[in-house]
Structure 1
Amino acid sequence: MTMPGWLSAVAQALFWIVATAFTMRWLARSRQQARRAADLDRLQQPRSMLALGSAGTVLWVGVMAAFTIWPDDTVSVWFYLFFVGLTLLSLFLVADYVNGRHAVREAGMDIGRPSGRRLSFGWDEVEQIRYAKSAGWFRIALRSGEVARVSSMLMGLPAFADQVLRHVPAARIEADALKMLSEAARGKLPGIWG
């Protein structure tokens, strides 16, 4: 007995909605893992991001390999470009896990970027802090013109929030960001749905 077409479409959509909800919940909870005292002033992606990036890379490369080995007439160059994009996104998650580690100190921050480039600055150099809800990060504009971004997915966000609230004047922090930093300092992390 086969399912009607509309029921099959509804079942598939429901599966992806539930799978996405469980994945996002897993990612959000992984930010709150217990950490060693020596790591409390460090911000880094949880291991779940490494797992997601690695699994995604293997999956998307596998899909492209399968369609190369067993070609299909309906597959076009756009198909491969789409999966190359997904592979690059997955590799970005891996690079961010490896290189995107930040240190928070009384004097300022040391930011690591996925490219491996580092940026250090003092709290007195901060010109403005905003929270970009759609991207899920705090955007720190510096007097030098550089911009640093701190993801809300990072473990150690309460230490970051505490240092910002203690060292950056409230006039330089936008109201939404100030509210989220105050909550993060108390342990209530921003949602990851945007």
Structure 2
Amino acid sequence: MNSSALASIDLRPPISSLVIGALSAAFFFWLAAVSFTTGKHPAATLGTTLCFVALGLMALPMVADYFFARHRLSDDAIDFGRRFGGRGTMRWADVRLVRFSPTMKWFVLEDQARTRARVSTALAGLPEFARLVLAHVPPEAIDKKTHKLLVDASLGRRPRVWL
């Protein structure tokens, strides 16, 4: 990193994502245990138990995001974390594509080697991320819709989560 005016900035999920993910997983795993142990009830079938286990597993990515999907920004690059571990670094100058995924509610950055970094709109520090992308990523790498969302995010207006 150069000795620019910007100290590194951390992007991290809010504590609420950990709480919601952990409570949801615990609730559905508890229901699965109750369903499995009270098998005499007609509604408590193996299918019901497996359904509750599946719902509990679906909550675990929120917990994983809290611990692993943390990013550090500088004037030169983004050091990014992935949902299920692993880290990477992408220099702003190497970014060849920035797009917004409306389904997943995250920005996707892709470099020359097709490495992808995903930045959720729920992360604390999103305005700083948007300002750095707008300042350092080549303009031709950002489509018009994503550019507008980044400008809004840089002003503190997050993309809408719900339709």
TM over 0.5, shorter chain: yes
For each residue in 1:67-86, what CA deviation from the matched residue of structure 2 results, as whole angstroms up to 9, or x when unmatched? 11212333444323322222
CA RMSD of aligned residues (A): 1.6
Task: Specify which structure has the higher proportion of helix.
Answer: 1
Hey, what's the Cα distance between the residues in 1 that align with 2:56 and 2:71? 25
**Amino acid in the other structure paired with 2:20:** L
Is residue 2:13 matched to residue 1:42?
A: no
Within 5 Å, give how 1:76-95 maps onto structure 2.
76-95=45-64
Q: Which residue of 1 aligns with 2:4?
A: none
Following superposition, the deviation at residue 193 of structure 1 comes to: 1.4
Is residue 2:20 matched to residue 1:52?
A: yes
Q: Would the aligned equivalents of 2:68 and 2:81 in 1 still touch at CA under 8 Å?
A: yes
**TM-score, scaled to structure 2:** 0.89
Q: Which residue of 2 aligns with 1:190?
A: 159
**TM-score, scaled to structure 1:** 0.75
Q: 1:84 to 1:193 in 2, by over 3 A?
A: same
Q: Which residue of 1 aligns with 2:90?
A: 121
Consecutive unaligned residues of structure 2, counting only runs of 5 or more, are 1-6
Consecutive unaligned residues of structure 1, counting only runs of 5 or more, are 1-38
Q: Would the aligned equivalents of 1:126 and 1:140 in 2 still touch at CA under 8 Å?
A: yes
Q: 1:55 to 1:119 in 2, by over 3 A?
A: same
Q: 1:62 to 1:40 in 2, by over 3 A?
A: farther
Q: Would the aligned equivalents of 1:158 and 1:186 in 2 still touch at CA under 8 Å?
A: yes
Is residue 2:127 matched to residue 1:158?
A: yes
Aligned residues: 156
Hey, what's the Cα distance between the residues in 2 that align with 1:116 and 1:181? 26
